[in-house]
């Protein structure tokens, strides 16, 4: 066994550059596979993180402008959602709608407590708002059904807004009254979010805002928590039926997608899942072909080695060397090159992914109204890295098998004809 190691070392030493270039191709293959997997995981983890922040079984409906004439009315009409749409949503689809809600925006208002004040957006919402949006209750409670029915003057503030109003006086916000214009609202809860960078809106009951700010029966957005819609096709069929129901109320063509803008989070999630699956497949295909280039390099160098040592192998056989010893010699050399440089590539790849994680492991993008995570934890499971390297070593063994069989087939007479 020692003799085999000495021969392999001697062969590698005589062909340093060729061995290095071949080994570099192997190391580069496993390195690129791990780095690509890490980068892909960064995108996938960011997508999963963003998806976990919102209820996936939710749909939001915004008003739009008609793009088709219908029932004697011209195109270009602005659709304004109202309370009747909310009732239709809540009662016409019992098999698919868990609960319907709505929100309405007032715009920027000034909230004061004592001498402190803050300018924030004000929205009227339903209790299901917290289930659908990214906000999380930090302290106290959220708006409930009783607040809606009784049109209570209660408010949920953002944590940062509460800090502006109450920090200097060290006052506990919950239970305190804040002023907006001539109306006092009791603070019942504090909320927080994950990454929103725009306005931190104050939230009051939907019915309260409609009454105080004279909004009539108008609303800005409908929100739906859905059930029994588990495929893209089922969601698309529901959306068609929903457009028909609201189209009858507002007299627009049910096929006019511009009249209503529907944001179906579950459909978007399924479509993005397909995109992530394509991304994973693409990364593995690119990585595997990169690995194959290194394996082909190993096979080529072994073929060249066999050709250069034709005389030697022929003489060995003439002296009684067993074919298995020659076969073993070539395969072991192939495995050594693949294992050594594969390990180097694996360690380098893991090192780069760890560096990416430290430097760019939590990247967010500011969309203007909020921020969203776009790159998160770009690392690779060590088990996957080891499995990929072991696969490379097995492939390297197979790559050396053909040259080894060629070496075994050399006859002593060929040794005499070799240059």
> Taking 90 as the threshold, does the pLDDT of residue 237 lie above it?
yes
Dihedral angle computed from the Cα positions of residues 133, 139, 145 and 148, in that order, rounded to the nearest 10 degrees: -80
Higher pLDDT, 297 or 258: 258
Alpha-carbon gap, residue 110 to 180, rounded angstroms: 6
Sort 330 into a burial class: Cβ within 10 Å, 0-12 / 13-18 / 19+.
Answer: buried
Digit-coded pLDDT (tens) for 255-288: 999 999 998 888 887 777 788 888 888 888 887 8
Q: Can you give the pTM of this predicted structure? A: 0.63
Positive or negative, the CA dihedral 207, 210, 216, 221 is negative
Residue 221 has what pLDDT?
A: 93
Residue 418 has what pLDDT?
A: 53
Residue 5 has what pLDDT?
A: 65
Residue 197 has what pLDDT?
A: 45
Lowest mean pLDDT among 83-97, 228-242, 277-291: 277-291
HSE-CB at 189 with a 13 A cutoff on CA atoms is: 21
The three-state (H, E, C) secondary structure of 54-117, written as one string: CCCCEEEEEECECCCCECCECCCCECCCEHHHHHHHHHCCCCCEEEEEEEEEEEEEEEEECCEE
187: enclosing H helix or E strand: strand 183-192
CA 292 to chain centre: 29
What's the token pair of residue 288?
């595997």
> Taking 50 as the threshold, does the pLDDT of residue 195 lie above it?
no
Reference 256, options 82, 70, 71; nearest CA is 70
Lowest mean pLDDT among 164-178, 323-337, 362-376: 362-376
Residue 401 has what pLDDT?
A: 76
pLDDT tier at 368, thresholds 50, 70, 90: very low
Alpha-carbon gap, residue 145 to 154, rounded angstroms: 12
Digit-coded pLDDT (tens) for 115-155: 999 999 999 999 988 887 777 888 999 999 999 999 999 99
Residue 369 has what pLDDT?
A: 46
User: Residues 124, 205: contact at Cβ < 8 Å?
Assistant: yes
> Taking 50 as the threshold, does the pLDDT of residue 308 lie above it?
yes
Digit-coded pLDDT (tens) for 174-184: 999 999 988 99
Dihedral angle computed from the Cα positions of residues 168, 170, 174 and 178, in that order, rounded to the nearest 10 degrees: -30
Residue 415 has what pLDDT?
A: 55
pLDDT tier at 417, thresholds 50, 70, 90: low
Digit-coded pLDDT (tens) for 333-349: 778 888 888 899 999 99
Mean pLDDT of the chain: 84
Reference 102, options 119, 81, 72, 122; nearest CA is 81
Mean pLDDT of 102-121: 92
Alpha-carbon gap, residue 155 to 363, rounded angstroms: 33
Apex CA 176: angle with CA 175 and CA 177, to 5°?
Answer: 125
CA 11 to chain centre: 48
Alpha-carbon gap, residue 275 to 283, rounded angstroms: 12
Alpha-carbon gap, residue 273 to 230, rounded angstroms: 14
Sort 173 into a burial class: Cβ within 10 Å, 0-12 / 13-18 / 19+.
Answer: buried
Higher pLDDT, 375 or 103: 103
280: enclosing H helix or E strand: helix 265-308
What's the token pair of residue 70?
């219908």
């Amino acid at each position: 066994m020692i003799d085999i190691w000495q021969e392999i070392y001697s062969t590698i030493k005589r062909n340093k550059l060729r061995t290095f270039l071949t080994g570099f191709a192997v190391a580069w293959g496993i390195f690129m596979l791990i780095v690509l997997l890490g980068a892909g995981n960064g995108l996938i983890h960011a997508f999963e993180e963003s998806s976990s922040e919102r209820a996936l079984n939710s749909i939001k409906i915004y008003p739009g402008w008609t793009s088709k004439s219908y029932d004697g009315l011209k195109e270009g009409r602005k659709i304004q959602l109202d309370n009747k749409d909310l009732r239709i949503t809540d009662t016409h689809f019992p098999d698919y709608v868990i609960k319907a809600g709505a929100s309405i925006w007032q715009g920027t208002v000034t909230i004061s407590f004592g001498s402190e004040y803050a300018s924030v957006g004000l929205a009227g919402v339903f209790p299901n708002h917290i289930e659908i949006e990214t906000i999380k209750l930090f302290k106290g409670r959220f708006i409930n059904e009783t607040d809606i029915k009784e049109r209570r003057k209660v408010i949920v503030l953002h944590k940062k807004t509460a800090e502006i109003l109450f920090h200097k006086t060290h006052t506990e916000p919950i239970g305190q009254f804040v002023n907006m214009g001539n109306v006092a609202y009791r603070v019942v809860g504090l909320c927080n979010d994950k990454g929103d960078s725009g306005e931190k809106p104050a939230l009051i009951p939907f019915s309260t805002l409609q009454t105080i700010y004279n909004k009539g029966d108008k609303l800005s957005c409908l929100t739906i928590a859905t059930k029994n819609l588990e495929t893209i096709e089922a969601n698309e069929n529901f959306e068609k039926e929903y457009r028909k129901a609201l189209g009858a109320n507002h007299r627009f063509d049910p096929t006019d997608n511009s009249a209503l803008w529907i944001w179906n989070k579950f459909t978007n999630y399924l479509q993005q899942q397909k995109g992530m699956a394509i991304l994973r497949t693409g990364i593995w295909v690119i990585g595997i072909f990169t690995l194959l280039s290194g394996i082909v390099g190993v096979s080529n160098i072994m073929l060249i080695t066999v050709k250069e040592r034709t005389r030697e192998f022929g003489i060995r056989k003439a002296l009684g060397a067993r074919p298995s010893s020659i076969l073993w010699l070539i395969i072991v050399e192939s495995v050594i090159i693949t294992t050594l440089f594969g390990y180097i590539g694996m360690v380098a790849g893991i090192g780069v992914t760890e560096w990416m994680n430290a430097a760019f492991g939590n990247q967010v993008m500011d969309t203007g109204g909020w921020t969203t995570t776009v790159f998160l934890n770009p690392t690779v499971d060590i088990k996957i890295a080891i499995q990929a390297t072991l696969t490379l070593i097995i492939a390297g063994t197979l790559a050396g098998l053909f040259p080894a069989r060629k070496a075994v087939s050399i006859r002593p007479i060929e040794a005499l004809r070799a240059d």
